[in-house]
Amino acid sequence: MPATQKPMRYGHTEGHTDVCFDDSGSCIVTCGSDGDVRIWEDLDDDDPKSINVGEKAYSCALKSGKLVTAVSNNTIQVHTFPEGVPDGILTRFTTNANHVVFNSDGTKIAAGSGDFLVKVVDVMDCSQQKTFRGHEAPVLSLSFDPKDIFLASSSCDGSVKVWQISDQTCAISWPLLQKVNDEINAKSICRLAWQPKSGKLLAVPVEKSVKLYRRETWNNLFDLSDNFISQTLNIVTWSPCGHYLAAGSINGSIIVWNVETKDCMERVKHEKGYAICGLAWHPTCGRIAYTDAEGNLGLLENVCNPNGKISSSKVISNMVEQFLEHISVIIWIWKTSQIALLSWKITIHVTI
């Protein structure tokens, strides 16, 4: 059964819009060009709570009751969640930060800015910071390795880099993207993502496919693509189980693959063809929240199976199949024994 696409709704003013779920998946959180963060109980919520964080909010991330935002005053701010009480500034840049993400346990954030820098900051002690230098143009996107050993980044300089967090060295750099001088001119925001739990694979959207790189060897194991994709992919996100990968394009296509089989599981088109710039997979069920470059919020339901388990109907089907197989074996054994018994009786009769 294909995913159910709910009608999109207005979320923020026109411009880049980000989205995430809270830890439990009980609400959707968005931020946008109006400088507001909105907390939605569901897509049908007509009165979402709004928290103003600045003139513009470029990115938001949420973990363990901490809401962090990359704001147009060049800062990474913290608010309590869901109260929305200001809780300080984690770090500053000399230009706007374009992306902010949490690590898996919520103890650190990483942020990338238009001043070419990447910073990793301790959430409880913001004096504990590491700065990563090496990009030669604005930083577009970041992703923490779930094991907290590596950090991946993409940039307008055309490169995707993997950094060793401990000593801030660059482990590998790939020239994958078109070079531009500013994020506004970038063909894609290249939102890359590590596979959850194991961190075995790093997924990078490049042109009309997703490249999957193997951890530590950094080999390009395979690419995921589909004829449904007609323009550049902008963003990828993994299901929490790490079995599925979703991607969104600059002309509104959303595609979901089973990474193990490489089969395309879902193909969905934005109702107006706007660029998908935010994608978030629900932490426990098959729902994907997405946002576009015009400030709208959408929701896909019944997407694959996020726990990587067989559906209940499939389980029942398998049980029936196994039961019938057992019955067939029993009947075969019974028939065989009857034939053997008949043969024995005939032998006895002939002997007598």
For residues 308 and 233, what is the distance between their CA atoms, to the nearest angstrom? 25
The percentage of the chain sitting over the pLDDT mark of 90, rounded to a whole number, equals: 86
What does the pLDDT read at residue 321? Answer: 42
The half-sphere exposure of 67 on its side-chain side, counting CA atoms within 13 A, is 28
> In this structure, which amino acid lies at residue 119?
K
pTM: 0.86
Average pLDDT, the chain: 91
Task: Place domain 4-301 in its CATH homologous superfamily.
Answer: YVTN repeat-like/Quinoprotein amine dehydrogenase (2.130.10.10)
pLDDT at 341: 53
- The answer to whether the Cα torsion of 305, 307, 310, 316 is positive or negative is negative
Residues of the chain with pLDDT under 50: 306, 308-325, 329, 350
Q: Fill in the DSSP letter of residue 33.
A: T
Predicted confidence at residue 2, as pLDDT, reads 85
User: CB neighbours of 142 closer than 8 A, spacing ≥ 6?
Assistant: 99, 100, 101, 110, 111, 112, 118, 151, 152, 153
Question: Given this model, what pLDDT does residue 348 score?
Answer: 52
d(CA 323, CA 253): 43
For residue 324, the model assigns a pLDDT of 46
Cβ neighbours for 328, distance < 8 A, ≥ 6 positions apart: none
Helix or strand (DSSP H, E) at 135: none
Cis peptide before 82 (omega within 30 of 0): yes
